[in-house]
Structure 1
């Protein structure tokens, strides 16, 4: 007596394999797109974090130190009090603040004292324009002048 075994035909198996390959291909394509998008979000987050770190450091130092002095020869801004000082070195692709490094390119820098633009000496406001990588963001940091700063 012959018994019939229920099974799939070769055509049915090939169709299932093709559909499985298409679904797997779509899944890997979507995964690749999601990974690229997540990488882009991470890069934006890192850039914004670096920008915010520089802005915060400049605000803190501007308000903690009595005097700000810019040296055009050394391309530095020195914040100082009678007890302490801190220096920002502006390089081509980064800004050094003692042991901190801010990896960002400053496209343009303007310095002000008493509302007038200056190129050296005492400073009470800084305007920094960042590169296109940072979506042309700008920083404007200022210190309200007190009598001690005007006397120095």
Structure 2
């Protein structure tokens, strides 16, 4: 009796290797793109965090400047002291951080100018301060207090 051989339709070994090679290339490209997107997201998160820290500092300084009547800056100690009748707040400016009443704000902002009645001073009573980043000029901000009429009489 003759045996009947029925051929099963399938792929050859070379066809399977080509498909496997194309799959490896596509998956490799997908992981490369994923790594690039992940790096971009990480950079964006870092920039957002830095800007948020700087905005929190700017808001705190605006509130402190306008709620304290007496503001003094010491260049020797790199310290800003804000006082009113009830309380005082101290800002210490250190390398890559600013300490405010127990809060440590990591930032690269530096004091650019300290002003009193529109004149730049190196220390003593102040009514305005400009902070900025030596690296990024878009992160510069200016904080001032509204002077009362009594400040101009003396």
How high is the TM-score relative to the length of structure 2?
0.90
Q: Indicate if the aligned counterparts of 1:68 and 1:123 stay in contact, CA closer than 8 A.
A: yes
Alpha-carbon deviation of 1:109? 2.6
2:47 aligned with 1:15, yes or no?
no
Which residue of the partner structure matches residue 126 of structure 1? Answer: 129
Q: Indicate if the aligned counterparts of 1:94 and 1:102 stay in contact, CA closer than 8 A.
A: yes
Q: How far, CA to CA, are the matches of 1:72 and 1:143 in structure 2?
A: 20
Match of 2:141 among 110, 115, 139: 139
Match of 2:114 among 108, 111, 116: 111
Which residue of the partner structure matches residue 70 of structure 2? Answer: 67
Aligned residues between the structures: 150
Q: Indicate if the aligned counterparts of 2:80 and 2:92 stay in contact, CA closer than 8 A.
A: yes
Gaps of 5+ in 1: none
Q: Indicate if the aligned counterparts of 2:111 and 2:129 stay in contact, CA closer than 8 A.
A: no
Which of structure 1's runs of 4+ aligned residues deviate more than 6 A?
A: none
SS at match of 1:3: coil
RMSD: 1.6
Alpha-carbon deviation of 1:150? 5.2
Q: How far, CA to CA, are the matches of 1:142 and 1:108 in structure 2?
A: 13
How high is the TM-score relative to the length of structure 1?
0.91
In our comparison, the structure showing a higher alpha carbon Rg is 2
Gaps of 5+ in 2: none
